Amino acid sequence: MARLRFALAQFDFAVGAVAANAAKIGDLVAQARTGGADLVAFPELALSGYPPEDLLLRPSFLAACESELDALAAATDGVAALVGHPHSEGEVYNAASLLRDGRIEVTAHKQALPNYGVFDDKRYFRPGHETVTAMVGGVRVGLLVCEDVWQPEPAAQAAAAGAELIVVINASPWDDAKQAAREAVLQARARETGCAFAYLNLVGGQDEVVYDGASLLVDGDGSIAARAPAFVDALLWAEFDPAARTLHAEGWPVAQDACAEAVLYAALVRGVRDYIDKNGFPGVLLGLSGGIDSALTLALAVDALGADRVTAVMMPTRYTSQLSLDGARAQAERLGVEYHVIDIEATYRSFVAALTPAFAGKAADTTEENLQSRTRGVMLMALSNKHGRLLLATGNKSEMAVGYATLYGDMCGAYAPLKDVYKTAVYRLARWRNGAGIRDLGFGIRRDASSPEGSFSRIPNPESPIPEEVIDRPPSAELRDNQTDQDSLPAYDELDAILARFIEGEQSQAEIAAQGFHADTVRRVVRLVLLNEFKRRQSAPGPRVTTRAFGRERRYPITSGWR
């Protein structure tokens, strides 16, 4: 029995760029044909990009997708192509069409429509009602779309129809628990059906969501045959042996470092790069305070975009320590970015002077502290406006959770790389990044626009990109003398443990306290989370990397009596 040779196109397909996506699909089809593939598969909604959201409500958008699909089908010759696209026939379906010999041979409609987390499929699509199979290279192949494989029935229907191999096209967002869950589901479906599975996933950043690729091959007995690395664009070649129901990967790239910190760092880098590049910004700028959050944000920005596209600005006041001044300058020099020091003391004092009559009879408090932060926000937004570089906010998830941030101050920014990263993870990432500085970064991270996609680069300066003194110092906003974050918050190890249980775990205060946390501390932290929803609604978007991100995934009412 002949083997089936196929390719999985683990690439980024931008939302709304229908013509460009079609051109990329056409080029990859040609590569697959040249390589002798019987089949080449593309991710879920590759033609429209995922998720197209309310673009799907525009008839002209759906018509453009249909026109490009017809043109792709007409050009297919010598290889079958499985293409994800929106399919409109009175109702709109999330579809996968098999293009072969100049025509659309069959179309499968996604049956299971997710409507949880970041997914909103039921708003836009109607569900399909049957599993589609097709003969390709002498093999009966089942065609599933993403969520279909998370339910047992669609795969079981494919097996009942005689499928030997099931190809699943996906746009599955990454988070820190996703890959283990995917593998468990695919292994379960394989064991239930006896079918082998080729799981293809989208890669790239789209607004707040990051897709990791990390495509998989699973044999008919449920064993993992191959894993593609996360956040690498690649045409993945494979062969299927129908007699043994086994899959063989041909020369798949291998991750240089697959530890949790490496994958998370790669997710953040990809999120930053794609947000900036897809929206057409020439570069970014950020306030570099001498603290660990802005230090990690700067390293991410340089790794994503290259040093020539990044500007860092230090804005000291009388409360800024020499350690902060030295640490910020050292990092800027090591990474080779444009660096400015703009002393804001006089500007801040002018604000205070102007407000003094209206503040009469009231003692100084956090108002004056926040005014320093807002002075910095004004400066940074002016620089962004003048130079056209997007401002990155540097706050982390721990701060956003409890409102330890200043609206229109340090929350200023159009994109927040660390928005879904807890403070304890910020420390882990900073230490990992310093260790990665003298070896290949992997995961497609590149330092300048001229590097080929998926290539690995080395940091030219052997020194750690984040000064150790910045990592080791007690965290501080430096808005008053001798201030530390722990003046206002529990220690971050304790705070993050409580936050993760309340936010990701959805545990009650009583449940959290029962795990050894002081009830008063739990009550205080939860109160802060609930009170600061109004701030988070006004925060910049940032890459989703946990199972419960603020924004499109975790949507609590601002006005609520629930405590």
The secondary structure of residue 356, as a DSSP letter, is G
User: Who has greater pLDDT, 118 or 127?
Assistant: 127
- Counting Cβ atoms within 10 Å, is residue 279 exposed (0-12), middle (13-18) or buried (19+)? exposed
Query: Looking at residues 469-477, what average pLDDT do you find?
Result: 80
List domains and CATH numbers for the chain.
4-250 (3.60.110.10), 260-485 (3.40.50.620)
DSSP per position, 117-156: TT--HHHH-PPP-S-EEEEETTEEEEEEEGGGGGSHHHHH
Sign of the alpha-carbon torsion through 249, 252, 258, 261 = negative
176: pLDDT confidence band, cut at 50, 70 and 90? confident
**Does pTM surpass 0.85?**
yes
Q: Give the 3-state secondary structure of residue 9.
A: strand
Q: What percent of the chain has pLDDT over 70?
A: 93
483: pLDDT confidence band, cut at 50, 70 and 90? low
Question: Does 431 have pLDDT greater than 80?
Answer: yes
Number of Cβ atoms within 10 Å of the Cβ of 157? 19
**Among residues 304, 313, 312, which one has the least CA distance to residue 276?**
304
Question: Does 442 have pLDDT greater than 70?
Answer: no
Asked if 146 is an active-site residue, the reply is yes
Query: Looking at residues 131-136, what average pLDDT do you find?
Result: 97
Question: Does 209 have pLDDT greater than 60?
Answer: yes
Write the pLDDT tens digit of every residue in 214-261.
999 999 999 999 999 999 999 999 999 999 999 999 999 998 888 999
Measured between alpha carbons, how far is 56 from 398 in angstroms, rounded to an integer? 35
Query: Looking at residues 51-59, what average pLDDT do you find?
Result: 95
Query: Looking at residues 307-315, what average pLDDT do you find?
Result: 96
Between the alpha carbon of residue 13 and those of residues 61, 114, 215, 276, 289, the distances in Å are 16, 21, 16, 15, 36
Instruction: Give pLDDT, residue 233.
Output: 97
Q: Is 297 in contact with 337 (CB distance < 8 Å)? A: no
**Mean pLDDT, the chain, whole residue set:** 92
DSSP per position, 39-75: EEE--TTTTT-S--GGGGG-HHHHHHHHHHHHHHHHH
User: Who has greater pLDDT, 563 or 150?
Assistant: 150
443: pLDDT confidence band, cut at 50, 70 and 90? very low
Instruction: Give pLDDT, residue 448.
Output: 39
Determine which one of 24, 65, 68, 146 is catalytic.
Answer: 146
Instruction: Give pLDDT, residue 434.
Output: 93
Question: Does 454 have pLDDT greater than 90?
Answer: no
Determine which one of 24, 65, 68, 110 is catalytic.
Answer: 110
Lowest mean pLDDT: which of 258-262, 472-476, 550-554? 472-476
Which of 195-209, 310-324, 354-368 tops mean pLDDT? Answer: 195-209
Instruction: Give pLDDT, residue 217.
Output: 98
Measured between alpha carbons, how far is 550 from 542 in angstroms, rounded to an integer? 9
Write the pLDDT tens digit of every residue in 80-119.
999 999 999 889 999 999 999 999 999 999 999 998 888 8
- Sheet (strand 165-170) strand order: 132-136, 139-145, 165-170, 196-201, 216-218, 224-227
Q: Give the 3-state secondary structure of residue 533.
A: helix
Q: Which one-letter amino acid corresponds to residue 362?
A: K
User: Who has greater pLDDT, 255 or 333?
Assistant: 333
Instruction: Give pLDDT, residue 560.
Output: 84
CB neighbour burial string for 222-244, b if at least 16 within 10 angstroms, e if fewer: beebbbbbbbbbbebbbbbbbee
Instruction: Give pLDDT, residue 272.
Output: 97
Question: Does 64 have pLDDT greater than 80?
Answer: yes
Q: Which one-letter amino acid corresponds to residue 347?
A: T
Question: Does 459 have pLDDT greater than 60?
Answer: no
Asked if 24 is an active-site residue, the reply is no
Instruction: Give pLDDT, residue 473.
Output: 84
Query: Looking at residues 107-135, what average pLDDT do you find?
Result: 93
Between the alpha carbon of residue 284 and those of residues 144, 312, 348, the distances in Å are 40, 9, 25
Write the pLDDT tens digit of every residue in 364-414.
988 998 999 999 999 999 999 999 999 999 999 999 999 999 999 999 999
CB neighbours of 389 closer than 8 A, spacing ≥ 6?
281, 282, 283, 284, 285, 309, 311, 383
User: What is the total residue count of the chain?
Assistant: 563
State CA 420 to chain mean position distance.
Answer: 10
